[in-house]
Structures are given as structure tokens and as C-alpha cells.
Amino acid sequence: MSTLNREQKEAVGLLSIGTFLEYFDLMLYVHMAVLLNELFFPKTDPHIASLLTAFAFCSTYLLRPFGALIFGWIGDNIGRKTTVVITTAMMSLSCVVMANLPTFAQIGMTAAWLVTICRIVQGMTSMGEITGAQLYLTESLKPPGRYTSVAMMNFCAATGTFAALGVAFLVTSYSLNWRLAFWFGAGVALVGMIARTTLRETPEFADAKRRLSRTLEQFKDNGSIDTKQLEYNEIYIKEKTNLKTIICLLLVDCMWPVMFYFAYIHCANVLKHSFSYTAEQIIHNNFIISSVQVVSVFLVVYLSNKIYPLTILRVKLVLSSITLLATPFLLIHAKTGFDVLIVQSLILFFACDASPANAIFFKYFPVFKRFTYTSVIYAISRALVYLITSISLIYLTDYFNHYGMLVITVPVFIGFAIGLSHFFKLEKEAGNFPEKKIMGNDLLSDASEVS
């Protein structure tokens, strides 16, 4: 970070604040769901209640691919800056609507549908948020500052989650009106949107747009635009993406939603049904473990400036695999709620995701398709994993107890390892893989950049 100039540091600061605020709004309902689901959904038997909870949770993610296509198109055709401003504004608007929604007791199932629509909107807009922020920094900075700055967006997302849980904890602990939390969320999203209007477009995207514009003008000067000739132009030659790279990024992106679901949602259900935790107690418990997540992500951000990101991911994969393989045994033998809290903390501290290597992954996608490809892959991974996990886990745990988790985790770990190996290979072929694990400016100066 010390290698960045003033303008670059300001961009990192603005994007960090925006990502924090955006994730505060997005996660506010997710972590208050144990309380709000009782207000917006009908009360029923535990099995149906679990399905309704799963439905409410998945509604945030199911239409994310559609949102990714919309904001991906905007990001690739209009600009990265425009996307992050629009998504922040939409997040603020959805918070305003949720702050004024009548409950199930007032208008019946209409309340359930309205809150679900709001969650869908938030899920869709979040796709343009963190991907847009990470792409902006990927295209504006050089290694190793690029790796650290992009990883910072994950740290800001984690702190946004932590802050959302903090507000949820205060609301439930002091019997405050839960609507105040969403009014606060709307306000902070509005601040984030205004702040981001001062950003400039990324140099790489702006340069690509200029080159494309010059190319089109040259063809027009010749009297017509020949599609076949245009396809052989330099800017179009680079607009190709390997199918294997797409699949491998999807495999990598599927890891975090599994970790998140088991730590925050599955373990919360264990606390509720096995240890009779109230909604307020679960929120308090999740507030504690979210601090562990913040510490873990901060550690990764710090290390990304010293250790090659893919090497960090390889170590994280080993540690998270050991943790999640042991999780079923630990949950079965948990005697108190504190034992479950320890399990949750272990999952989140050793959690494995794409950070801090996002910037490396992004560079293997063409600039005019980068936003769409990466955001759609990200969205599909969340929608697919959360849907499969939330629904199947209800039945897997009925038949296999907590060991049913392994039916989900083992394939995900194998997929992550395959995806990681693919990017290791690409980096070595491109000459970007450092000979030493500890990075410095002198080490990276000789590494070639992938266009």
C-alpha cells in the first residue's frame, strides 16, 4: 500500500467505505433473519420453518446471476464507476422500503412476498458492488499493491457484516425498534453512493475504450465496418476466454458460501433447536464469531503484501479442509452453546475463499467481458451452493446427523483444489509466478503482466 500515489489511495479509501456500507446493508437482514422471519413469515412446525428460513435466505442469491448479467453489461459497456454508483443507490432504496414494510400480522403473506422481493433486489445489486470494486482496483494498480488493495475489499465486506451484527445486537439487546437498523442502513448506503461519484474510470478500461473507438473510426474512414477484419484486430484477439478458466474460477468461488453457511446458518439452527437459543442470543453469538472473521481476513490482507496470493490460498485450503472435516464430530459432541461457538470460530478463522488472489483470477478474463464473466461466475457460485446446501442439509442431517455435511464439503474442497491448480499453471506459463514465496518490489519488477 505504501507504493500507491495519493489518487490511488483515495480510490482505495472510497471503494473500501462503499463496500463496507454495501455489505452492512446486505447482511443486516441475513443476520437478523432469526428475528425478522418470525415477523414476516407464518409460524409453523420446525420442519416447515426450516424450509421457509432456507427460502428466505436463498431469495437473496437466486436471482444474482440475472443481476450479474445486467450490471456486468453496464460495467463492460459503460464503465466500472457507473456500476458501483448505481448499485449503491439501489441498495439504499431497498433499505428504505424494508424499513417501512408491514408485518405478516398486518397484511399476511403479502408481507412475506414483499420482503423476499427486497432481498432479491439487494442480492442483485450486491453483484455489481464487490466485483465492481475489486475490478476497479485490479485495473488501476500494479502488484503487490494490487493484491493487498483488492483483498481489502473482502476485509471491508467482513467489517460490514460485523457492523450489521453489532447493530442487530444493539437493537435486540435494548428492545429498540428493528426498523431503525434499516433506516440507518439506508443512510449509510446514500453516503457511500455520493462518495463514489468522485471516482474516475479505471485506466485499463478507459484505455481499452479509446483503442476500440480509434479502431472503429479507422474502419468508418474506409467506408464500412468489415466484421471479419474487425475480428482480427488486436483488441478483439484478446477478447477470448478459455472455458477451463471459467469453470475453474467457478470451482474456486464455490468454497466461501459453504464456509459461510455452515458457520452462520447451520450452526445457528443447532443453537436454536439443540440448545434453545433465542433469536437475541443467536444474534449475540454471531456478533462474536464475526469478529473472528474480521481478524482472519485482516491477517490475509497483511500477508498478501508479503506472500504470493496463490501460495496463501494453498495453505488456507489445507487448514480449512482439516477444520470442516472435523466439524461434524465436534458438533455431535458439543455439550453447550459455547462449544458450538468454538466450532464456528474455527470455521471462520480458517475459512478458504478466493481472497487474496481475486486480482490474479480477474486478469485472465478479457477487459470488455471481464465484469460480466467474473460477476456471473460469482453469482452462480452463490446461488448454486446456497440453494443446494440450505435445502439438502435439512434432509442430510436427518439421515446422517452432522456427518451429512461431508456430502457437500468434500466435493467442494476437491473442486477448489482443481481450480487453484489451474491458476497456478497459468501463472507459471505467463511468467508471473515468483521463484521465491516472499514478494518484494524487486521480485515483481521482472514478472510479466497478463493483458
Tens digits of residue pLDDT in 91-102? 778 778 888 888
Measured between its terminal Cα atoms, the distance across the chain in Å is 23
Tell me if 284 sits within 8 A of 169, measured CB to CB: yes
- Residues across the chain: 451
Q: Does a structural domain hold residue 403? A: yes
C-alpha to C-alpha distance for 255 and 244, rounded to whole angstroms: 18
- For 332-358, the pLDDT digits (tens) are 999 999 999 999 999 999 999 999 999
In the 8-state DSSP scheme, what is residue 405?
G
C-alpha to C-alpha distance for 416 and 96, rounded to whole angstroms: 38
pLDDT band (50, 70, 90) for residue 237: very low
Tell me if 378 sits within 8 A of 131, measured CB to CB: yes
Cβ-proximal residues to 290 (8 Å cutoff; 6+ apart), any chain: 158, 161, 162, 165, 348
Q: Does a structural domain hold residue 92? A: yes
C-alpha to C-alpha distance for 136 and 248, rounded to whole angstroms: 22
φ, ψ dihedrals at 307, nearest 5°? -120, 140
- 32: containing domain: 6-444
pLDDT band (50, 70, 90) for residue 311: very high
- For 264-300, the pLDDT digits (tens) are 888 988 998 899 998 788 888 989 999 999 999 999 9
CATH number (domain holding residue 239):
1.20.1250.20
Q: Does a structural domain hold residue 449? A: no
Structural domain count, the chain = 1
Q: Does a structural domain hold residue 161? A: yes
pLDDT at residue 55 tops 60: yes
**Predicted pLDDT at 338:** 95
Q: 241-253 burial, b for 16+ CB within 10 Å, e for fewer?
A: eeeebbebbbbbb
Cα angle at 322 between 317 and 327, to 5 degrees? 120
Place of cell 441498495: 91
φ, ψ dihedrals at 438, nearest 5°? -85, 130
pTM reported for the whole predicted model: 0.78
Report DSSP letters for 26-92, one per residue: HHHHHHHHHHHHHHHS----HHHHHHHHHHHHHTTTTTHHHHHHHHHHHHHHT-HHHHHHHHHHHHH
- Flag the least confident range among 80-89, 160-169, 413-422: 80-89
Nearest to 91 by CA among 165, 179, 157, 27: 27
pLDDT at residue 391 tops 70: yes
Q: Does a structural domain hold residue 1? A: no
